A and B are shown apart, each in its own frame.
Chain A
Amino acid sequence: MTKDELYYWLLNLQNIGLKKVELLLRTFGSVEAVYEASAEEFEVFRRECCPVTLRFSTQDIHTLCTNRNPEIIKERYAKLRKSGIYFVSKEDERYPEQLRNIYDAPHALFVKGRLPQKEEKLLAIVGARECTPYGREMAKYFAGALAKEGIGIISGLARGIDTHAHEGALSSGGITYGILGCGIDICYPKENFNLYMQLQKQGGILSEYAPGTSPLAGNFPMRNRIISGLCSAILVIEAKEKSGSLITVDYGLEHGKDIYALPGKPTDLLSGGCNNLIKMGAKLVTTPKDILEDIFPNYKQRIHDFKKNNKILELKEKIVYASLCLEPKHIEEIALLTGMTIDVLVEQLLALELKGYIKQIMRNYYIVIE
């Protein structure tokens, strides 16, 4: 049997999770040794090497000893490959270099699509699930602009900022990777199915969990360590003061990655986490250039500054456009700001909307779009 098949065997045993696998490999030295070990050896291992908290039971020894039929293993492995899932163990040369060096690196990855290359520049974009339109537009904009420059965008395929970061990267034709907290054959959340499929074509989906693993809450912090391990820098778009995104940042600091944060207004709860990061020394970013300069030392400005407004508009449209920003404004407020009556105002708003400069994010609330 090949090494990959053996790893596949070890990682797919019931009730034997990553922690147990870790200890087994460390104690026995290699995956072959684990495969060949006898029940007595496991019993010794259980008594002498296992901390009580690991709960390595006699049932687990039974599982390890009885599920060793090479034919079944080979058959299952072939079936996995047939369904388009690659299995890459730590000892495989395709295994991402970036991950090899981190503490706690996953023993193997399940992959759909492609794997990050050794020299590839990667940036993680993380943030809140319940994001504001500001966060959404910023995630799209940053991901799009950076992906266009050849930087791979890594995120977690979750709702909110993650989704928009992937979307941004895809729409500018860049490469983007999604790291899952569940089995690779499960699309979570369901509404991201399109994204899930698209990512396999224009990037890759990675997971350390065996196919069929459901998205348990405990998996996600672990998933974050892979996100942080793969990338060379992390950009936090929107996060509350206590946010799961900050777990990724903690891993990132442990792994020695650069942390970038997008500032927000002090009154916005959803920018609290970002602003705190900036206070603690994360780099404040206002344009993608801020990040590109760090990643490519000789970077010359090639992308347009997004604030420049060179749109050709009529006077009334200009007035209306100038009163809008990335924060949703109700037509009532816009009417107050522009001094127009409602019927005149809505005509301008529709014209702008049709030109694609502004967007109605819900009934009568408008924002500008890039």
Chain B
Amino acid sequence: MKKIIALLTASMLALTACNAPATQTTSDRAATESNNVLKFYNWGEYIGEDVISRFEDEYNAKVICEYYDSNEMMYTKLQAGDKYDVLIPSDYMIERLLNEDMLQPINKDEIPNMSNLTDSVKNLSYDSDNTYSVPFFQGSVGIVYNKTKISPEEIKNQGWEILRNEKYKDDIYMYDSERDAFMIALKALGYSMNTDNEKEIDAAYQWLLEQKERVNPVYVTDEVIDSMANGLKSMGVVYSGDAAYVLRENPDMAYFAPDEGTNLWSDAMVIPKNAENPELANKFINFMLEDESALDNTLTVGYTTSNKNVYEQVTADGGDFCDNEAYVIRTDNKKDEVFHDNEVIRAKLSELLIKVKA
């Protein structure tokens, strides 16, 4: 559902180019005169409501927004030669873009707000000193479960294996992507999610086949968000940012990332090599790190902010994400991993997953 709405709004917003029609004419003219245009390519529903218009006013600029719903879609457009000034890809995609020399370094002098970043999102392995990327949102993958049906102890003791507990037959949502499904199986078996070992992959495949046999899980993608918010099933695999939303909507729901480890991911702002307005892009990135923008972003989207002041504010007593365990990203589990893309393995897992489902 979310995807469809995102697509619809995306196409509508693309027409109005992120701008309220009333204010468009004046700033439009000023912007085109000074050639102050920023092309921003972002996930659907992934930015605060007023951030773009405030930026346009403050910098007398015009922002043209486009939206994607997967890293791969963004990559394909970039490959086709489309020019953008700012993108927000995920960690593994930044790694790939860097390997293919498609990004340019950010200008840290222009981005004093880098000092607002939370320590745990800085200097991650895909860009070890943040030369090319500025973290935006971060999160993990875990299980949203109904506290009235499953006790926190039960899920803590069983970990990922609870997704194969016959007690919850027909009562489980799995996430329909090879990366997440195999991450769960590999972690449950104690392997790395980035393995290329045939035996381990085969064991994970068997794990998923057995799971299907035992509990008959339903494989969904974004439908899981509304379904869990409505309490349709006892548990489901959800990204932490979406889980934070579910928890806000439905007080019966709780979030748990099993101790066997999970996938920690982050999305960061980058400037492609062929950007036409890198100067404005740096200003925009700096603007996104301001407290006011970061607050708007995290409250609208529900994903965990990279801004430490805002993080403290919203998780403090009385804050919007106070006691919301999905919002707090753990950093102390050694078994948690960052995903690394491997095209050959991904194709293989994709085919194995459709065989699991069939």
Partners in one complex: no
- B interface residues (Cβ-Cβ under 8 A, vs A): none
